[in-house]
Amino acid sequence: MYDEHYTRLNQYRSLWILVFFDLPTETRKERKIASGFRKKLLDDGFSMFQFSIYMRFCASRENSEVHTKRIRNNLPEHGKIGVMQITDKQFGMMELFYGKKPVEPDKPSQQLELF
């Protein structure tokens, strides 16, 4: 018998972090701040879902908390930012459309975890 705490990736235990943001871009300085925030998200392993929505897969809640804390530490002074965590199972139920044609969502790649 195995301990459920140490099971491999599980659709209900693994999470997706979605970061939604609306940052001011009226001045050159604001555009630089907004682009710096996006760059920090990319450097932290997030990928663009839509222009102001970035996402990242996390194998556990503890891992997602680390990345959420990094976002919190990099918040710009102005703008609106939201962070939402959903399970891999919920993410897999998302319906994506390009025009009227449904599109299959990309399957997350297996991540190797070294301890």
What's the pLDDT tens digit per position in 18-30? 999 999 999 999 9
Helix (H) or strand (E) holding 28: helix 28-43
Q: Is the pLDDT of residue 4 over 80?
A: no
Q: How many domains is the chain built from?
A: 1
Q: What's the pTM value of the predicted model, to 2 decimals?
A: 0.77
- Residue 111 lies inside a defined structural domain of this protein: no
Lookup result for tokens 């459920």:
4
3-state helix, strand, coil in the chain (%, to 5): 30, 30, 40
> Which residue range forms the structural domain that includes residue 61?
8-91
Helix (H) or strand (E) holding 57: strand 53-58
Write the CATH number for 85. Answer: 3.30.70.240
- Residue 99 lies inside a defined structural domain of this protein: no
Mean pLDDT, residues 44-48 taken together = 96
Pairing label, strands 101-103, 80-87: unpaired
Q: In this predicted structure, what is the pLDDT of residue 99? A: 81
Is 22 annotated in a binding site? The answer is: yes
Q: Is the pLDDT of residue 1 over 60?
A: no
- Residue 20 lies inside a defined structural domain of this protein: yes
- Residue 104 lies inside a defined structural domain of this protein: no
Q: In this predicted structure, what is the pLDDT of residue 51? A: 92
